[in-house]
Amino acid sequence: MTEPARRVFLGRDASWAERVRVYRTDEALEVAYISTFDVSLRRLFFDEVQLVTLHRARGSRTLWLLIALSALCALGTLISWSTPVLGNGFLTVTVIVLAWTLGTALIQSSIITAYGGRARVRIRFLYRPGRARRVYDDLCRRVGEVQGRIAAAAAAAVASASRPEEPFPEPPVS
């Protein structure tokens, strides 16, 4: 029987500058910042999570970039319209970029953010809001369990420390 995975892949948070993959372990969220040759890890331990949020948003910067790209392609189509081959090529690219822009404008991604005292983890789900909700619920449950366990252990330690010592037994009276 194969051993269950210790690092479970939750999702990614890609940006223009870096590739980020987020994993869950038994005790922390691990954020892997991936370059071509190296992976750097940062961990957000469950016992230091202060807030977990889930919201929906559009990639506004990507949208603006795509709108600019669409405008450029449309301009290229207009300029090269007199040359059939070039004009048709530009038109095809314009249609593809416009469809991509429209898709980006319509689709809202679900984003989970976990805030700790020293780190922040963000996971972006582009197409699956249901999975985002499941991951969010699971994350909240795990954080609550871990923090509750630590709080219970601390309370037990305090209780045992503050318990009055038992007095010495009275010597038997003969």
Partner 1 sequence: MAVSARAETGPSCPHCGAPLLVELMAAGEQRCVACTRPFAAVPFSPPVVRVVVQSVAEAGPDGAVACALHPGNAAVANCSRCGVFMCGLCRVQIDGRELCPACFDRLAAEGALPSARSHFRNYRGMALLMSLGGCLMYSFGLLTGPVTIYFAVQAQRQRRRLQESDGRLAVIFAMTLGVVQIAGGLWILAVLLGAAARLVAR
- Of the candidates 14, 68, 107, 154, which one interacts with partner 1 according to CB under 8 A? 154
Q: Applying CB under 8 A, which part among 3-11, 68-76, 97-105, 123-131 lies near partner 1?
A: 3-11
- Of the candidates 67, 87, 91, 120, which one interacts with partner 1 according to CB under 8 A? 120
Question: How many residues form the binding site for partner 1 (CB under 8 A)?
Answer: 48
Distance from CA of residue 6 to its chain's centroid?
18
Give the shortest CB-116-to-partner 1 separation in angstroms: 7
**Is residue 57 classed as helix, strand or coil in its secondary structure?**
strand
Look up residue 100 and give its amino acid: W
Contact code string over 75-94 relative to partner 1, x by CB under 8 A: --------------------
Q: Which is nearer to partner 1, 26 or 99 (CB)?
A: 26
Give 67-119 as a DSSP string. Answer: HHHHHHHHHHHHHTTTSHHHHHHHHHHHHHHHHHHHHHHHPPEEEEEEEESS-
Q: Give the integer Cα–Cα distance in Å for 153 and 136.
A: 26
- Residue 126 within binding range of partner 1, rule CB under 8 A: no
Q: Give the integer Cα–Cα distance in Å for 94 and 75.
A: 9
Largest CA distance in the chain: 123
- Of the candidates 79, 95, 117, 138, which one interacts with partner 1 according to CB under 8 A? 117
Q: Applying CB under 8 A, which part among 47-55, 69-77, 78-86, 88-96 lies near partner 1?
A: 47-55
- Of the candidates 63, 68, 95, 157, which one interacts with partner 1 according to CB under 8 A? 157
CB 86 within 8 A of CB 92: no
Rg (CA), the chain: 27
- Of the candidates 62, 80, 109, 147, which one interacts with partner 1 according to CB under 8 A? 147
CB 13 within 8 A of CB 22: yes
Contacting residues toward partner 1, per CB under 8 A: 3, 5-9, 18-19, 23, 33-43, 47-55, 57, 111, 113, 115-120, 136, 140, 143-144, 147, 150-151, 154, 157, 161
